[in-house]
Amino acid sequence: MSLLARCPDLPGAELVAEGLADLQARRESDAALLVSMAAPRLRLLGIPVAAPFDDPEAHLFDRLAARHGDAAHGRFNALVRRIVSFARAAALCAR
């Protein structure tokens, strides 16, 4: 059973699940770029991340800037905090 299936209520789990699905379909979404950024850590947790996007940080910031202008930096940081929270909680769940 996968970590996401065992611990579906982890903070940000829905974002990770969405990102994994989008990566699988090769859709460049905010979630897929975020999962691409976190791919090394997610893999250490046993979550397979297939073919992450190149330079995901820049692409994610560009997408956010196009939609949110000056607020892009704050939104980018909020997404990064969510994926970090997920990874920390997932590490505890995996024990």
* Residue written as token pair 């920390």: 88
- Taking only the tens place, the pLDDT of each residue in 54-87 is 999 999 999 999 999 999 999 999 999 999 999 9
pLDDT on residue 1: 56
Candidates 66, 2, 1; CA nearest to 28 is 66
- Is the pLDDT at 88 greater than 90? The verdict is yes
Instruction: List the structure tokens of 53.
Output: 């996007």
72-94 vs 13-24: helix axis angle to the nearest 10? Answer: 100
Q: In angstroms, what CA-CA distances link 94 with 4, 6, 7, 90?
A: 10, 9, 9, 6
- Taking only the tens place, the pLDDT of each residue in 52-62 is 999 999 999 99
